[in-house]
Structure 1
């Protein structure tokens, strides 16, 4: 006998929605839009001032800010779209993965930025160009301040994945978990802050000693660090998109330990993330003496972050 037990029956027999957005989805969306507003304002001021005062350094940094705002727009759009289509029945497992898709796209953009910075730095090492140290230092300092404020706004309180809620859809919906979309936005502003710091160091050295080489060397260092951050984001967001269970995720072991007892044998198990702090699972069990559904539900009640479950019970 094969019995398919849908998650709705395990959680009391009442159908439910598939809201697998992170606990701080709305707050994170608002913060990303705030950073976009801050960045666009700074961009307009820098480009306007650069044109008015004839400073190419200001114009160049303003144009760089525009790419920064575009990257933030990816994150904001993903938050909006996931929320807007939360009740769309065609997304059968909800819209919680939109953030990971946006995070993956942002990671690819970060990798391209690292390549461009590295390429430009190599060109400047082979063909040094004159630098207006005073103006450039001023621009870098202002950019650093803006990026530090942005980083503070985007800092994720749940940066480390943690378990904290049973699978029965708690009323407060307070699931934790890493939000790769917010993380991608945070890494973008962190990368900008890093390049500002390295630029300030290189420019100060150049203004004191007259050296031109520290600027491209610091650019290469920044490119390598940004590339490393990009790879980490590609790996984590890509893993979620491909339903990969990372080595540190103990949810499959918890399910096996909870259900693999009393003569029951788990013959198949699938676990995947459907949103920040939300996981789904399909479990196939063979048992000589299948238990009532409430018994299986009780065994799994302590499992954290399990938001959607399907059980298949097969009698020997």
Structure 2
């Protein structure tokens, strides 16, 4: 399935569910249900931003933006992570208030709506299961939806416990557990997006293995000024200077090297400079 369609279906389903869950949470006085609805709303915004960034990244480059708009996916991922933690703060405030002033909870309604949430979030996660590998934007959407499905399962269990025990204070307590799960599961995504904005080497790439591969190429005696950075949440670039004494500029060598880097490390944009020896300037300044 094309991911544009997946985004559209996911946003539509979750938006309808957020409205239903919010109304049900207010009517049943369930902070767990409201906390789940608040998080689902942040996921709707997350899906919309990720979708918009994907569309923007597909636009061609221009004289002003020579790399195109691929980095929009990184910015969207960072904004989504920030929105998620802002939503957690709001939900935490509401949950504390419900814990101080517990109200009767309609456990049956909570269980029904949260059960629907398992289906909605599970289906949305299923739509992104194939695209999550190698793209932090799609992986964020997938993990959010999968986490929400599990959280909705927790709400169902909580609603059943309230019905069985009559302990209404269990509802905000379960909300605290939900918040902890969401915060924990999202921390890795936040850390990775911050690293991408700082042009760090993507976590999927081992720089030492890249260096070793370059040194193993025919005629290469030294590698310096090796840089690897993300152009987007899917595309990675590399620049490097290779010292190949007496080999000159070999087009076949460069084409094969680029193909190898693409196959082994998914590095799609390579700029390689061939040198007879290390420039004196590099030796004197201690550049890598």
TM range (shorter): 0.7 to 0.9
Residue 283 of structure 1, CA deviation = 0.7
1:1-316 superposed matches below 5 A: 27-43=2-18, 55=27, 64=38, 66-83=41-58, 85-155=59-129, 157-160=130-133, 178-246=134-202, 248-250=204-206, 253-259=209-215, 262=219, 264-294=221-251, 295-303=253-261, 304=263, 305-316=266-277
Residue 226 of structure 1, CA deviation = 0.8
Residue 286 of structure 1, CA deviation = 3.4
SS in 2 for 1:301: helix
Higher relative CO (CA 8 A, sep ≥ 6), structure 1 or 2?
1
Residue 142 of structure 1, CA deviation = 2.1
Residue 251 of structure 1, CA deviation = 5.3
Query: Is this contact kept in 2: 1:44–1:62, CA < 8 A?
Result: no
Query: Is this contact kept in 1: 2:258–2:270, CA < 8 A?
Result: no
Query: Is this contact kept in 2: 1:260–1:266, CA < 8 A?
Result: no
State the alpha-carbon separation in 2 of the partners of residues 149 and 74 from structure 1.
Answer: 20
- Would the alpha carbon gap of residues 42 and 232 (structure 1) be closer, same or farther in structure 2, given more than 3 Å must change? same
State the alpha-carbon separation in 1 of the partners of residues 35 and 98 from structure 2.
Answer: 17
SS in 2 for 1:269: strand
Query: Is this contact kept in 1: 2:158–2:171, CA < 8 A?
Result: yes
- Would the alpha carbon gap of residues 267 and 206 (structure 1) be closer, same or farther in structure 2, given more than 3 Å must change? same
Runs of at least 5 residues in structure 2 that lack an aligned partner in the other structure: 278-288
- Would the alpha carbon gap of residues 147 and 300 (structure 1) be closer, same or farther in structure 2, given more than 3 Å must change? closer
SS in 2 for 1:266: strand
- Would the alpha carbon gap of residues 198 and 231 (structure 1) be closer, same or farther in structure 2, given more than 3 Å must change? same
CA RMSD of aligned residues (A): 3.1
Query: Is this contact kept in 2: 1:264–1:286, CA < 8 A?
Result: yes
- Would the alpha carbon gap of residues 291 and 255 (structure 1) be closer, same or farther in structure 2, given more than 3 Å must change? farther
Deviations 1:254-301 (A, max 9, x none): 344334663631121111122355321111233432432323433453
Q: TM-score scaled to structure 2, two decimals?
A: 0.79
Query: Is this contact kept in 1: 2:36–2:151, CA < 8 A?
Result: no
SS in 2 for 1:95: coil
Query: Is this contact kept in 2: 1:39–1:146, CA < 8 A?
Result: yes
**More helix per residue:** 2
Query: Is this contact kept in 2: 1:117–1:220, CA < 8 A?
Result: no
Residue 71 of structure 1, CA deviation = 2.8
